[in-house]
Structure 1
Amino acid sequence: VTMAFGTGGLTQFADTNGNAQVNQLQPDGYAAGQLESVSVSNEGRVVGSYSNGRNIDLAEVSVATFNGADFLKRIDGGAFEVTNESGEPLYGKGGSISGSSLESSNTDIADEFTKLIVTQQAYSANTKVITTANTMVQDLLNVMR
């Protein structure tokens, strides 16, 4: 590559003298912006909203299924890893993502609390039975001596 600078040198302006007409400048970018919020779109994209009005896709959440889902390898953080038995991921068949939605809980707190109380009382009763049975065995052994 050969560059010939000529007599006027190299400038970034159309004018060979290096002068720019300020009233004719047309910026084609955006002002600096701060990240204000993050959301998930219905297409599964994580979108960052900035203070300058820009919305930029930051990441994408993919939903996949596996032919052998029971054979995935569990790794740290509640994640899973592909194995030979699980097969390759199948994209586009795993459901959909609802952006800006909050999943409601499928747990009945009152029912779970009731089960906890019943279990605690059953445990307490069983410990009393074991203590009584232990005392009876000790008394029987004392009688035999």
Structure 2
Amino acid sequence: MNENRLPANSINGNPAEEFLTARQNFWQILATVPPGRVTSYGRLAQLAGLGRGARVVARWLAQLPEGSSLPWHRVVNSRGQLSLSPESAAGAEQRRRLLGEGVLIVNHRVNMAHFGWPGSPEQPPDQSQELHE
């Protein structure tokens, strides 16, 4: 999906209304990602009806106001990698929050088979510290 285009499933042909509906769906889906789980930008886009709108999701997450209660930190790339630089304040905050929820991070990556949402992950390990190989 071109990130400047709206979803093809038009409700009433009103682009402004479709944009607001798509964005509201996105925020609602993001709010349901449970603690201790992560989802990818692309999966979040699909669930919100944005098709292949992973870049739109990334842009909207970057526009969240500081102090937002939405779980932005639970969104990673499709390979389970944390997209934010580990040296940045936001990257450090994402790691801190995920580790605090029991999400295991190994080499800046989350095991999507264990922690991916939605789905039925295997029982996650009870370790909650960052490991480096």
TM-score if structure 2 supplies the norm length?
A: 0.23
Q: Which has the higher contact order (CA 8 A, sep 6+)?
A: 2
Structure with higher helix content: 2
Structure with higher strand content: 1
Structure number with larger C-alpha Rg: 1
TM-score if structure 1 supplies the norm length?
A: 0.22
